[in-house]
Chains A and B, each alone.
Chain A
Amino acid sequence: MIWNEEYETMPREALEAIQLKRLQAVVERVYTNVAHYRKKMDEAGVKPEDIKRLDDLKRLPFTTKEDLRENYPFGLFAVPLERVVRVHASSGTTGKPTVVGYTKRDIDTWAELMARTLACAGVHRGDIVHNAYGYGLFTGGLGFHYGAERLGATVIPISGGNTKRQIMIMKDFGSTVLTCTPSYALNIADVMKEEGISPEDLKIRVGVFGAEPWSENMREEIERKLGIDAIDIYGLSEIMGPGVSVECIEQKRGLHIFEDHFIPEIIDPDTGEVLPPGEKGELVFTTLTKEAFPVIRYRTRDITRLITEPCTCGRTFYRMEKIMGRTDDMLIIRGVNVFPSQIEHVLMSIEGVEPHYQIIIDKQGALDVMEVQVEVSDEIFSDEIKVLESLAKRIEQELKETLAVSCRVKLVEPRSIQRSEGKAKRVIDKRKM
């Protein structure tokens, strides 16, 4: 179902006219109200009135995570604090978190976009949404909550943790939709298996999973183990939270970006140059309607490409491909760029190997060494040493071919790699310790 036919299926020309009008307004707003943007635009020699066409967007300076940190906590707010009805903050893995604010209208817009998102994922009025995203400073819990309510679904605000109880509630309440991180969905599937609960015991039909990158193989695994459609959703608190883009249930190929509220660009992460549609690079967003916390050309550090071909679902919004990696997840091993997603892809292409892995990087003398720990599942286990050793060798070989750098594969017992109830911790870089 399309929640907002008028905007979601708008002809591109009309959409771009709205984008330009909104872009001009937001640039004017940040220039007038936010010292940081005024200073950066003055330094770059751009005035709000220079934005005459959408293409002029690229004349504006980028905003980075560091800019947000430097203006901690409220320095980038474009409205007086008394108009801010809520704040959220991202989990600052290094130092202070980044803080974002919302006016009453921002919260309303967010609920609308999350209602669109859920409808796009095949959720409808009457569904029972089991919302296992964390509630609190993290945008996931409340973002889904407001959207599901706006849609007219019943929300179970369970938040994260206590997986056995989650499963009991899903079963007893007849939940039809599961919303959580993809790694937590797999965690739920594992615990269900341990508890002897089969997917048929639950009514879950569709899952909307995000807040961390996940592969097609992981989708296939979640869909098989839980017997559901698994839909990818994208968002980040700096832009709004969940509901920036989402896959449609019709195609599950590429995430529709709500372009009447956000303009995407793909840039070369090294030069900052805008790349033509279809090329892979860093995703950059400009918010068009946000009041409390508008951002101009925010560098997400996520790597993807834009799909401009029309989609069969009828939405005219461009799509972004599933996130392929992050510019700052990129590991440099002996001078070679390695993305954890590449390792996951290789592992999943080997029959019986589960996507539970951990990468450990260390130094031996001056040399970087990478160890990939892979859990031994029942399918790949053998009573013969040589079978397991040749499997480890084969994984080593295939990783080397894909990554162009060698690594050591260590087989480990199942569940010895820490399962997160939130985001999966895939990389332990001991070089930095």
Chain B
Amino acid sequence: MKVEQISIFLENKSGRLAEVAGILAEADINIRALSLADTSDFGILRLIVNDTEKAKNILKEKGFTVGKTEVIAVEVPDRPGGLAGILKVLGDRGINVEYMYAFVQSSGENAIIIFRFDEIDKAIDALQSAGVRILKGEELYKI
């Protein structure tokens, strides 16, 4: 149920993001989803890739600070109110979303959204009992 995400610490310096993308390209790693959160000093790049271990190792080798976190990927109906419905399920159970971002997808009827929770197991439980489909890691890496 859980999906592995890598996160990378970046200083706000020009060219750093391009460098990460270049390193991953060279290692033949495909980026499936990404989000960049930033402050005035630094940013955190979060990625879901087709080979988490390889991406993590190669970036570490290049001197980046890299972390690994578990997130979940949720299928959201691609229509007005799709996301609102899911957030309501979580809100009703008092589950806090740390952050979320959309998945890159070429086609399909549903959108995929990545969620990061502190209480990940509680969130999985809540979403499943509400009949929301949660994607498995393998499914996602293959898309």
Whether A383 and B65, one on each chain, are in contact in the complex, defined by CB atoms closer than 8 angstroms, is no
Min CB–CB distance B126 → chain A (angstroms) = 21
Q: How far is the CB of B82 from chain A (nearest CB, A)?
A: 25
Chain B residue numbers with a CB within 8 Å of A415 are 63
A413 touches B65 (CB 8 A): yes
Main secondary structure of the interface of B (DSSP, over half): strand
Given contacts A378-B65, A378-B67, A413-B64, contact A385 B44 (CB under 8 A): yes
Any chain A CB within 8 A of the CB of B121?
no
- In the complex the two chains form, is B44's CB within 8 Å of A413's CB? no
Q: A384 on the interface (CB 8 Å rule)?
A: yes
**With A381-B9, A383-B5, A384-B99 as contacts: A414 and B41 at CB distance below 8 Å:** no
Residues of B within 8 A of A413 (CB): 9-11, 63-65
Interface string of A172-205 (1 = CB under 8 A from B): 0000000000000000000000100000000000
Residues in A neighbouring B41, C-beta threshold 8 A: 410-411
Q: Does A168 contact B (CB under 8 A)?
A: no
Number of chain A residues close to chain B: CB under 8 A: 18
B30 at the interface (CB under 8 A from A): no
Chain B residues in 8 Å Cβ range of A378: 65-67
Secondary structure dominating the interface of A: loop
Q: Nearest chain-A residue to B38 (Cβ)?
A: A385
A382-B7, A413-B63 known; 13 other A-B pairs, CB under 8 Å?
A377-B65, A378-B66, A381-B7, A381-B66, A383-B7, A383-B46, A384-B44, A384-B116, A385-B37, A410-B41, A413-B11, A413-B64, A414-B64
Instruction: Report 26 cross-chain contacts, Cβ distance below 8 Å, ordered by A residue.
Output: A194-B61, A376-B42, A376-B65, A378-B66, A381-B7, A381-B66, A382-B67, A383-B44, A383-B46, A383-B67, A383-B69, A383-B116, A384-B99, A385-B37, A385-B38, A385-B44, A388-B42, A411-B41, A411-B42, A412-B11, A413-B9, A413-B11, A413-B63, A413-B64, A414-B63, A415-B63
Q: Which residues of B contact A (CB under 8 A)?
A: 5, 7, 9-11, 37-39, 41-42, 44, 46, 61, 63-67, 69, 98-99, 116
The 7 A-B pairs with the shortest beta carbon distances in the complex, nearest first, are: A383-B7, A383-B69, A381-B65, A376-B9, A381-B67, A376-B65, A413-B11
